[in-house]
Amino acid sequence: MEVGSAASRPSVDEQRRALSAELEAALLHEVRREWHRLNDGHFRGALRAPSFSLPEATSRLGRFDAASRTLELSREFCVSQPWPLLVEVLKHEMAHQYVFEVLRAEDESAHGPAFREVCERLGIDARATGLPAQGEPAAEEDRVLGRIARLLALAESSSVHEAESAMNAAQRLMLKYNLERAALRSSGRGGDARAYSFRVLGKPTGRVTESERMIATILGDHFFVEVIWVPVYRAFEQKRGSVLEICGSTENLEMATYVHSFLVQAGDRLWAEHQQRLGIASNRDRRTFLAGVMGGFYAKLNQERRSQQKEGLVWVGDADLRRYYKKRHPHVVTVRYGGAPRNDAHAQGRSAGQSLVLHRPLKSGPSGAGPKLLGR
């Protein structure tokens, strides 16, 4: 192998351009891969693969050009927004492709009846502009969240009994609210079906830990949302991973986002206290301890649920939400994982989790911007 002379070596700018080209080629490969996955899952293989491009345009997030059969996604959008939002835009443009090439509804406007029907049937955001919707509470839902926030403020009490009672009261209020809404819908007095949306919580990761899976289970079993780990691509790292997505009504999304932030922060705090108390310098048992924390908190919530059931407050799920979830994720694969070692660190974490009281956090957490619930 020969080494080129100084004159033949690429300049720094040329090296950066080459790296950028490499990143773009990898990103286009992942976009194409995601297109095929969506075509199989949502459109039953009805579409033919188009050409893909990442233009510099900032006036639109994406576009399907029927004349050239090119699906465009804004380069800036692709590198600045989370992968799940890119997937939503990709779905939107694929719906345009489906309407034009399969339904052949060429006499309608771009966002006409055929397009809206396809989006409704497949759970795709049909809006012509703006980022894909992730849900914001309405006035009535805001009032409920305000009442819950006040209860969680009481859960900061130094009295263990008062704190536990306030947390349980907040859970019971949320349960009653969801039961009342479900009863109104089933009786036909609840108006239209609730508006459902989704949110992405936390940062993409290459490996989902047991404590992260336990947090997802807690949200899905106790906070009225559907949960799923969705695949993502991290463009600058050129790595695949996964991130937690939750689906639900806007007030339940708000509450679940709040709980997610609280539990991640609480886990970090409890581990730091555990290290200091026992003089532990390494993080070797951190994941095992955190798995115990979330397992202990989950057991605590299950115990409170049994008390609620004795009062006749039994949640059997939300059929409308399940339909929305199935539209978004028509093919779900269930994977089983091995748990963390059940050693002393796990037992101590579990004990800490069983003593944990959900209350109003003092700052926003790793889910992103703090939920509005925090500001009340």
Tokens at 91, concatenated: 């779905």
Domain boundary among 122, 156, 181: 122
If one counts every other C-beta atom within 10 angstroms of the C-beta of residue 360, the result is 20
What DSSP assignment string belongs to 246-297? EEEEHHHHHHHHHHHHHHHHHHHHHHHHHHHHHT----TTHHHHHHHHHHHH
**Whether 114 and 143 share a structural domain:** no
Single-letter residue type at 100: F
**Whether 312 and 175 share a structural domain:** yes
**Whether 50 and 91 share a structural domain:** yes
CATH number of the domain residue 21 falls in: 3.30.2010.10
Distance between CA atoms of residues 92 and 130, nearest Å: 12
Note whether residue 310 is domain-resident. Answer: yes
If one counts every other C-beta atom within 10 angstroms of the C-beta of residue 153, the result is 14
Domain range holding 97? Answer: 13-122
Distance between CA atoms of residues 373 and 376, nearest Å: 6
Domain boundary among 53, 88, 122: 122
**Whether 308 and 266 share a structural domain:** yes
Give the model's pLDDT for residue 225. Answer: 95
**Whether 32 and 75 share a structural domain:** yes
Contacts of residue 81, Cβ cutoff 8 Å, sequence gap at least 6: 131
Could you give the angle at which helices 250-278 and 160-187 cross, rounded to 10 degrees? 160
Distance between CA atoms of residues 208 and 206, nearest Å: 7
Note whether residue 208 is domain-resident. Answer: yes
Alpha helices in the chain (DSSP H): 12-41, 75-80, 83-98, 113-122, 139-154, 160-187, 210-222, 250-278, 286-310, 319-328, 344-354
**Whether 223 and 315 share a structural domain:** yes
**Whether 286 and 224 share a structural domain:** yes
Note whether residue 157 is domain-resident. Answer: yes
Note whether residue 360 is domain-resident. Answer: yes
Helix H or strand E segment including 239: strand 239-249
Q: CA angle, corner 129, sides to 260 and 77, nearest 5? A: 65
- Output the tens digit of pLDDT for each of the chain's 376 residues: 344 444 455 565 555 445 578 888 999 999 999 999 999 999 999 999 999 999 986 688 999 999 999 999 998 888 888 899 999 999 999 999 999 999 998 888 889 999 999 999 998 988 866 666 555 556 666 777 888 888 888 777 778 788 888 888 888 888 888 888 888 777 666 545 568 899 999 989 888 999 999 999 999 999 999 999 999 998 888 899 999 999 999 889 999 999 999 999 999 999 999 999 999 999 999 999 999 999 999 999 999 999 888 888 888 889 999 999 999 998 887 777 667 678 999 999 999 999 999 886 434 444 444 445 544 3
DSSP state, residue 224: S
Q: Return the biggest CA–CA distance within the chain.
A: 82
Contacts of residue 349, Cβ cutoff 8 Å, sequence gap at least 6: 270, 271, 274, 288, 289, 290, 291, 292, 293, 295, 296
Contacts of residue 289, Cβ cutoff 8 Å, sequence gap at least 6: 270, 271, 274, 345, 346, 348, 349
Note whether residue 7 is domain-resident. Answer: no
DSSP state, residue 242: E
Q: Per the structure, how many domains does the chain have? A: 2
Note whether residue 343 is domain-resident. Answer: yes
**Whether 285 and 193 share a structural domain:** yes
Tokens at 16, concatenated: 């950066």
**Whether 149 and 112 share a structural domain:** no
- Give tens-digit pLDDT for 243-265: 999 999 988 999 999 999 999 99
**Whether 89 and 183 share a structural domain:** no
Note whether residue 346 is domain-resident. Answer: yes
Domain boundary among 97, 122, 147: 122
**Whether 346 and 275 share a structural domain:** yes
- Give tens-digit pLDDT for 83-123: 999 999 999 999 999 999 999 988 888 899 999 999 999 98
**Whether 106 and 152 share a structural domain:** no
Note whether residue 2 is domain-resident. Answer: no
